[in-house]
Amino acid sequence: MPMAPRPHLRLVAPDSAGAWLSAEALGCERGERELFTALDVALAPGEILQVEGDNGTGKTSLLRILAGLLEPSAGQVRWKGADIRELREAYRAQLAYVGHKDGLKAELTPRENLAFAIALSGRAPKQTPDAVLEHMGLSAHADDPVAQLSAGQRRRVALARLLSIPATLWLLDEPFTALDQHSIVRVEEMLRTHVQAGGMAVVSTHRALQVPCRRVRLATGSP
């Protein structure tokens, strides 16, 4: 079916001069389908951007583009003005990404998984794995293989990474999946302290965040 040209979609903050993460005229195609065109993003320290949108509007795709995992079909993502494809390692060092998938090894324990994530980040951790697991209410499971944890417990281990790796920009794709109420509150708390300390976050979720943030809806992907 022929598509009417989409309106230019602007996610720009009112004052976009101070933005560290910015993207202009991003376009994304998956398969044959055009998800969005001419999407602008700008995010300054201390801000959270909540990406909403119906199923299939491209939230996950947008986050992967911002992380540099997916090539946009048009436009480019910039970090402090420089194209992230040129920055490479320098950009990745600022980043913590929690996707749909948890990124944990099922045979290792939560503690080992975290220790590896820290080593991989190549920087001194903000907190030790033990402290972080304690904070996420997982001390009792710190030495069980992750394979034996339930869906929500695994999700908590994945999110625990955020507390130990020093990163300015958090990219979180539906972080609340499978979490119980306590944990949701705890994660929102984490987001709050992160931005208060000058961090930034892009969060895709269907629940309204209980944290001050800019909210943005992606246009419906299909009629």
Partner 1 sequence: MFAGNALASLLAPPRFYRFSGVVLPWLSVLCAALFALGLYSGLVLAPPDYQQGDSYRIMFVHVPAAWLSMFAYLILAGAGFMALVWRIKLAEAVAAGVAPIGASFTLLALVTGALWGKPMWGAWWVWDARLTAELILLFLYLGYIGLQSAIADTRQAARAGAVLALVGVVNIPIIHYSVIWWSTLHQGPTVSKLDAPSIHASMLAPLLLMSAAFLLVFVIALLLRTRAELLARERRSAWVQALLEGAP
Partner 2 sequence: MTAVRAMLQRDLRLAWRRRGDLLLPVLFFVLVASLFPLAVGAEPQRLQSLAPGIVWVAALLAALLALETLFRDDFADGSLDQLLLSPGSLSALVGAKVLAHWLVSALPLVLLAPLLAVLFRLPDEAMSVLVVSLLLGTPVLSLLGAVCVALTVGLRRGGFLLTLLVLPLYVPVLIFAAGSVATAAVGASPAAHLYFLAALLVLAATLTPFAIAAALRIGAE
Ligand X SMILES: Nc1ncnc2c1ncn2[C@@H]1O[C@H](COP(=O)(O)OP(=O)(O)OP(=O)(O)O)[C@@H](O)[C@H]1O
Binding site for a second copy (CB under 8 A): 30-31, 33, 53-58, 60, 100, 140-141, 148-153, 155-156, 174, 177-183, 206, 221-223
Q: Do residues 28 and 65 lie in contact, with contact meaning Cβ atoms separated by under 8 Å? A: yes
Looking at 22, 50, 61, 113, which residue binds ligand X (CB under 6 A)?
Answer: 61
The DSSP element (H or E) to which 22 belongs, if any, is strand 21-30
Residue 92, judged by CB atoms within 10 A of its CB (0-12, 13-18, 19+), counts as middle
Looking at 46, 103, 137, 166, which residue binds partner 2 (CB under 8 A)?
Answer: 103
Looking at 28, 36, 43, 68, which residue binds partner 2 (CB under 8 A)?
Answer: 68
Q: Nearer to partner 2 by C-beta: 59 or 216? A: 59
Residue 196 contact partner, candidates ligand X, partner 1, Mg ion, none, CB within 5 to 8 A by sort of partner: none
Residue 119 contact partner, candidates a second copy, partner 1, partner 2, none, CB within 5 to 8 A by sort of partner: partner 2
Dist CA 194 CA 16 (whole Å): 21
Dist CA 198 CA 155 (whole Å): 25
Candidates 39-47, 89-97, 136-144, 199-207: pick the segment binding partner 2 (CB under 8 A).
89-97
Binding mask 153-192 for partner 2 (x = CB under 8 A): ----------------------------------------
Q: Do residues 37 and 65 lie in contact, with contact meaning Cβ atoms separated by under 8 Å? A: no
Residue 107 contact partner, candidates ligand X, partner 2, a second copy, none, CB within 5 to 8 A by sort of partner: partner 2
Residue 159, judged by CB atoms within 10 A of its CB (0-12, 13-18, 19+), counts as buried
Q: Nearer to a second copy by C-beta: 37 or 121? A: 37
Looking at 29, 34, 52, 112, which residue binds partner 2 (CB under 8 A)?
Answer: 112
Q: CB of 31: closest distance to partner 1 in angstroms?
A: 5
Dist CA 156 CA 151 (whole Å): 9
Tokens standing for 40? 């602008």
Nearest position to Mg ion, beta carbon: 60
Binding site for partner 1 (CB under 8 A): 29-31, 71, 73, 148
Query: Beta strand 74-79 with 21-30: parallel, antiparallel or unpaired?
Result: antiparallel
Dist CA 95 CA 30 (whole Å): 24
What lies within 8 Å, CB to CB, of 192 at 6+ separation is 211
Binding mask 128-167 for Mg ion (x = CB under 5 A): -----------------------x----------------
Distance of CA 16 to the CA centre of its chain: 20
